[in-house]
Amino acid sequence: MKISEERLQTMYELAGVNKQTLHDALRVMGKKHLKTKLMKEGWTHDNPTKNYCYVIAEFVYYYLSPRGSKPYKLPGIPGDDGLHRFIMWPDYSVVDLAVDQFPNFEDVDYTKAKKCYFMVNTFGVPGPSKRTRILAELM
């Protein structure tokens, strides 16, 4: 069963993001900004967060999260071809605006997540990637 709309909306409210606005921005980005052929094949207009968890997490982290928030990765979710990314607020609230991509929320076990960091950007310093800056402009 998918995540409940109520629980998902709570995460959007914590981040201060409108779900429709994010989904519309991701639809504009489309398959073009996904890295691999497999990711592009998995993305659909009806599931715009699919394979965009890194970009969404980076957007939340760099533009919206309070000081002390941490990025996390979660491997091994069925239907995901990599490491799912999300942000944890300092009060341990999970903000995962891409979790609705998964058909079964029970497969998403945040207790198995590990702290991680983002890659350095094209300027060689920590900061949002080009894809994340594009998302920010669209938001």
**What pLDDT tens digit does each residue of the chain (139 aa) get?**
888 888 999 999 999 999 999 999 999 999 999 988 988 988 999 999 999 999 999 999 999 999 999 999 988 777 666 789 999 999 999 999 999 988 777 878 898 899 988 876 556 667 788 899 999 999 9
Rounded Cα gap, residues 5 and 41, in angstroms: 26
Q: What is the pTM of this model?
A: 0.90
Closest CA to 29 of 128, 121, 139: 139
Are residues 129 and 121 in contact, defined by beta-carbon separation less than 8 angstroms? yes
